[in-house]
Amino acid sequence: MRLSKYFSTSVYILIAGLALSGARVISRNHEKPLLFITKQQSSLNVQTNFWQFFSLGQKRLISSVIWISTILESDHEHYKAHDLNSWMFLRFNTISFLEPKFYENYAFGGMYLSIIKDDLSGASVIYNKGLAQYPDDFSLLRDAGFHYYFEVGDFEKSLPIYKKLTKFKNSSQVITSTLARLEANQGNKEDAFNLLKSRYDEASNKNSIVAKKIFLQMYSIKAETDLDCLNAQGKNCSKSDLNGNLYILVEGKFCAVRDWKPFHVRIKKKPAENSGPDKKIIKL
């Protein structure tokens, strides 16, 4: 009886030893599969209506803690779903609920979602909330305008933002040029021309690179307007370009004596690096 029990124990030990040896051989000869969990899958977010009842009057403290943890845990994985469910957007949105005057949440949160995460829908929501709280903040207006114009391609949304930006003293020529393109794109060529002319008149050196570029833009607007009028046989059409040169008739069609390009929003499509829809590239 004891002998049988001894052999039974030995068999178990032998089987266990063989199993361990086999596992060791398999482990050495086969690469282990990697287990990768994205931050989107592992992040914890609490619905905003929870904080409405359980913040205990500490909304500012809670929003600061959420902000710090979000910055420390931030990732750069693109989010393309456009369903307002990216983990960083949910954090920034919660902060905007807890502390609506949290400026950095809009200034840096909107930019991070737009540029780094490529969560354009989420960034739009954050920028809208930010502009509702800080409607006259130059930096926030500039970044929101860039987001809508260059990233989203929503020209109607970006137009009033750029109109507001041009009223600031520190408004740049790029902002004026962008607004002029938006106006021209809406068919307001006269407004676009006057915007550029005011900037050109302010230039102390008319031979500078910036002044020359503005002049070319003005030339394009005038040439397009005049030639459309002349070729449509309209009335009171201007017959000379911005340099004073007469338009010439070539094969029954009026043309300018120099090359020019239509002045409006120009969009180039660039194929995505791997797959998916093309992304709009908007040039100044």
Q: Is the pLDDT of residue 279 over 50?
A: no
For 52-61, 149-158, 189-198, which range has the lowest pLDDT when averaged over its residues?
Answer: 52-61
Q: What is the mean pLDDT of residues 59-78?
A: 89
Total-model pTM: 0.76
Lowest mean pLDDT among 16-25, 56-65, 85-94, 249-258: 16-25
Predicted local distance difference test score (pLDDT) of residue 35: 54
Q: What is the pLDDT of residue 27?
A: 64
**Angle, alpha carbons 150-154-156 (nearest 5°):** 125
Question: Is residue 254 predicted with pLDDT exceeding 70?
Answer: yes
Confidence of residue 273 (pLDDT cuts 50, 70, 90): very low
The two three-digit tokens of residue 140, written as one number? 């926030």
Statement: residue 216 has pLDDT above 90 = yes
| C-alpha dist (Å) from residue 94 to 53, 111, 114 | 14, 17, 18
pLDDT-above-90 percentage for the chain: 60
Q: pLDDT: is 157 or 34 the higher one?
A: 157
H, E, C per residue of the chain: CHHHHHHHHHHHHHHHHHHHHHHHHHHHHCCCCCCCCCHHHHCCCCCHHHHHHHCCCCHHHHHHHHHHHHHHHCCCCCCCCCCCCCHHHHHHHHHHHHCCCCHHHHHHHHHHHHHHCCCHHHHHHHHHHHHHHCCCCHHHHHHHHHHHHHHHCCHHHHHHHHHHHCCCCCCCHHHHHHHHHHHHHCCCHHHHHHHHHHHHHHCCCCCCHHHHHHHHHHHHHHHHHHHHHHHCCCCCCCCECCCCCECEEECCEEECCCCCCCCCCEEEEECCCCCCCCEEEEEC
Q: Quick one: pLDDT band at residue 80, thresholds 50, 70, 90?
A: confident
Structure confidence by residue, pLDDT tens digits, 114-134: 999 999 999 999 999 999 999
Give the integer Cα–Cα distance in Å for 264 and 12.
Answer: 82
Write down the pLDDT at residue 271: 39
Mean pLDDT value across residues 238-265: 93
Q: Please tell me the predicted confidence (pLDDT) of residue 269.
A: 47
Higher pLDDT, 107 or 26: 107
The CATH code of domain 46-171 reads 1.25.40.10
- pLDDT, the chain, mean: 84
